Amino acid sequence: MRPPKPLTVADTVLAPVPLDKAFRLINHGPVVLVSSAHGAARNVMAAAWAMPLDFSPPKVAVVVDARSYTRELIEASGEFAFNIPCRNQIEAVLKAGTATGRDGDKFALTGFAAFAGKRVGAPLIEGCVGWLECKVIPEPHNEKRHDLFIAEVLAAQADDRVFRDGRWTMTDDGLRTLHYLSGGTFFATGDTLTIPSE
């Protein structure tokens, strides 16, 4: 196994995102890293099955498998964060999506470093380009039947180099967001296409 590449936040320009624009961080369907913590335990997993659910207050929905370590930490803490990874991090994202935190610390495995959020205890992941801090709205039926968690977004931030004034700019190839197909294959977010209003 190759050692993970260092992933640092050195060049990130962290900027708050107004809550009414938070949905735009994931509206285009990127893969997200779901981070969670409870007591001294923490974990990170990749999730393609995540989407906005409401504008105001902003809510999100995400599928978290019943057997996963992340599920245990989310149920214990009632919180998680969406971290929106970029192309620079693709190998670590795949590891976060295939390994389990039950076998050892996934931050060590992936090389991800963490920083503190503003509103939740879940760690935020350096080198990502957007972050949504979320508090679970308990819905036992959805959690049990569909492995579906619904949460309110309490705080949002983005890397100002690529998300500014409520819009992704996707100006840097390494900072493009990712979309997951399966079997180790991703798509980068591609060309920006704007249709003029008539």
- Asked whether position 90 contacts its own copies by CB under 8 A, the answer is yes
Q: Could you tell me the smallest distance in angstroms from the CB atom of residue 53 to its own copies?
A: 6
| Region of 21-29, 73-81, 104-112, 115-123 interacting with its own copies (CB under 8 A) | 21-29
Neighbours of 21 (CB within 10 A): 17
Q: Could you tell me the smallest distance in angstroms from the CB atom of residue 24 to its own copies?
A: 6
- Asked whether position 160 contacts its own copies by CB under 8 A, the answer is no
Task: Give the single-character DSSP code of 82.
Answer: E
Distance CA 16, CA 13 (A): 10
Instruction: Pull the structure tokens for residue 32.
Output: 């997200």
Look at residue 59 and give its three-state secondary structure: strand
Closer CB to its own copies, residue 87 or residue 161?
A: 87
Cis peptide before 4 (omega within 30 of 0): no
- Asked whether position 115 contacts its own copies by CB under 8 A, the answer is no
Neighbours of 148 (CB within 10 A): 16
Binding site for its own copies (CB under 8 A): 1-2, 24, 27-31, 48-54, 59, 61, 63, 87, 90-91, 94, 141-142, 146, 148, 150, 166-168, 170, 176, 178-198
